[in-house]
Structure 1
Amino acid sequence: MSTFENVTITCTDGYSLSGRFYQSKQSTEQLPILICPATGITQGFYHNFSEWLSEQGFNVMVFDFRGIGQSLHGPLRESNASIQDWGQLDIPAAIDLLLNKTQQEKVTLLGHSAGGQLLGIVPNYDKVAQVISISGSTGHVKGLKGRTKRMAPVMFNLIFPVSSLIKGYGATNFLGMGENLPKNVAKQWAQFCSKPGYVINAIGKTIFDDYHSEIQCPITVYWSSDDEIATEANVKDLLRLYPNAQTDMIELSPQEHGHKAIGHMLMFKKSHQNLWSKITQTIQ
């Protein structure tokens, strides 16, 4: 028996997204949780975590961003999806559907990586009561560490331009970095990470509505000491964009929690379930 309901999210531009709704296993007054995925990561990746949240009394929804997974319609090379579409169109529509299904006024936005980095361009940001950002940062190339720091320039400056030209999309799958990306997503990812501030680099260029300074809801970032992308410097770079929000950053050490690694992706794995209650303890 399925533990979730398949849902269709219709954006204001008519684009439809695929999502899953996990109904709480108990009567609840908790705000519903919207899980916004990382770049190139599909909704199924968050299944075990979403199921667990529903068992804790939360209504949960997760979805695929346009151009990714089941929200890709047609050949990838023909997708015009962009990261700014994810923030300006996809997240707002997902918020509204979740509120409609639960008859609540606000959601808790639990974003993984890019999914927790875009609230500043979400027009209905006022419907978000709190942000829990997992491995959320600006991903600025100068703040990266280890293998990722060495690989990022090659990916951004060589692999993405060449694969977009030849194949019509940003090749990431062969690097073990999730789904291949729509060409505009790959292009913006490279642009946003080339300077501090991530999406702020598009303000006044392709994005003309900036809500960063208007956001006052609490924002908490959970990051791991062995994360090569969401490093301390890059997490701080993200939180500085919200000058009027109450922000906090909580570092997790793999060794302190009995793990060899946590990194950028492992917090949602069933093997790391002992971290889940820590993540949810700050939900208000």
Structure 2
Amino acid sequence: MSTFESLNIICADGYALAARYYPNQYTQAQRLPVLICPATGITKNFYHAFATWLNEQGYAVLCFDFRGIGDSLHEPLKQCEASIVDWGQLDIPAAVNTLLQKTQAEQVVLLGHSAGGQLLGINPEYHKVAKVVAVSGSTGHTKGLKGRTRLLAPVMFKVIFPLARITHGYGPTNAIGMGENLPKNVAQQWAQFCSKPGYVINAIGKTVSQHYHDEIRCPITAIWSSDDEIATEANVKDLLRLYPHASTNMIELKPKRYQHKAIGHMAMFKKSHRNLWNVIENQLAV
């Protein structure tokens, strides 16, 4: 049975992130360690079953809570100033360096879920990432959404979030079944980034002064499901186009092929869908 070590990741600005480290105890194979970066509002607990399984396949694994989320929230939520830009510029780089320190490896494989796989272009430690596997990774552009989400997202972004920023001081995503409630700046940037093509590229020259999209050359693989209403084919392509010099690959999963009624945006990491885990693991090799 896989075991993990609870630890704190200290970011460049001194912020502490709660994390779990799963050391490789199962094989001497020289596999690069894997950093699991969560989706917006999703905690490290959600990935525990998958991280345990991946660890048992012979990978050292680190998963963490972004600042303002889960155990990385250290004050009343309405007082939290965390942002998505902070996640990309401060949290992910600190997690990369922590995993390298724990394993003495030279690079990591970044396994990002949704937003967790969308921020490499503002990560100053991008050169320490050997490969990105973006599960349900896309820009989430509102015009590229499908189904019920295409109708609900504009209401959430243009009505619920702005009103809740005044009345609650945070983004009330828990009430609508979308993970943890969000720090107000995370909610605001999420709405801003998804309102136009390109996601975080819309922050360049505003909250982001320097980015690295043109410098990134590591391979990037996007894995998404045909029934995902957020990471649609159009939005996945919109993400990958941001990295003009990287080798990119797209893998679409169809639920029926894997005997599932649905996969959607969240289910690939659930125990009920563990027959998909080999598909993800097969892409970790560099």
Amino acid at match of 1:246: S
Identify if the C-alpha distance between structure 1 residues 2 and 105 changes in structure 2 by more than 3 Å, giving closer, same or farther: closer
Q: Secondary structure at the match of 1:109?
A: strand
Shift of 1:23: 1.3
Note the residue ranges of structure 1 that are not aligned, 5 or more in a row.
none
1:114 matched to 2:100? The reply is no
Amino acid at match of 1:4: F
Shift of 1:66: 0.2
In structure 2, what is the equivalent of residue 100 of structure 1?
101
CA distance in structure 2 between the partners assigned to 1:161 and 1:43 by the alignment:
27
Cα distance per residue 1:16-51 (max 9 Å; x no partner): 000000112313310000000000000000000000
Q: Secondary structure at the match of 2:274?
A: helix
Superposition pairs of residues 153-164 of structure 1, within 5 angstroms:
153-164=154-165
Question: What is the identity percentage for the equivalent residue pairs of Structure 1 and Structure 2?
Answer: 68
1:186 matched to 2:187? The reply is yes
In structure 1, what is the equivalent of residue 6 of structure 2?
6
Shift of 1:280: 1.1
In structure 2, what is the equivalent of residue 23 of structure 1?
23
Cα distance per residue 1:123-182 (max 9 Å; x no partner): 010000000000000000000000100000100011101111111001100100000000
Q: Secondary structure at the match of 1:67?
A: coil
CA distance in structure 1 between the partners assigned to 2:251 and 2:37 by the alignment:
19
In structure 2, what is the equivalent of residue 40 of structure 1?
41
Shift of 1:2: 7.4
In structure 2, what is the equivalent of residue 200 of structure 1?
201
In structure 2, what is the equivalent of residue 152 of structure 1?
153
Q: Is the 8 A contact 1:111 1:132 kept in 2?
A: yes
Q: Is the 8 A contact 1:42 1:63 kept in 2?
A: yes
Q: Secondary structure at the match of 1:137?
A: coil
Q: Is the 8 A contact 1:138 1:237 kept in 2?
A: yes
In structure 2, what is the equivalent of residue 89 of structure 1?
90
CA distance in structure 2 between the partners assigned to 1:282 and 1:59 by the alignment:
16
Q: Is the 8 A contact 1:25 1:56 kept in 2?
A: no
Superposition pairs of residues 108-257 of structure 1, within 5 angstroms:
108-257=109-258
Q: Is the 8 A contact 2:80 2:183 kept in 1?
A: yes
In structure 2, what is the equivalent of residue 259 of structure 1?
260
Cα distance per residue 1:192-224 (max 9 Å; x no partner): 000000000000111011100100000000000
Q: Secondary structure at the match of 2:178?
A: coil
Runs of 4+ in 1 over 2 A off after TM superposition: none
CA distance in structure 2 between the partners assigned to 1:180 and 1:206 by the alignment:
22
Question: How many residues matched?
Answer: 284
Amino acid at match of 2:236: V
1:71 matched to 2:72? The reply is yes
Q: Is the 8 A contact 2:2 2:55 kept in 1?
A: no
CA distance in structure 2 between the partners assigned to 1:221 and 1:132 by the alignment:
6
CA RMSD of aligned residues (A): 0.8
- Using the size of structure 2 for normalisation, the TM-score is 0.98
Note the residue ranges of structure 2 that are not aligned, 5 or more in a row.
none
In structure 1, what is the equivalent of residue 51 of structure 2?
50
Amino acid at match of 2:222: V
Amino acid at match of 2:19: G
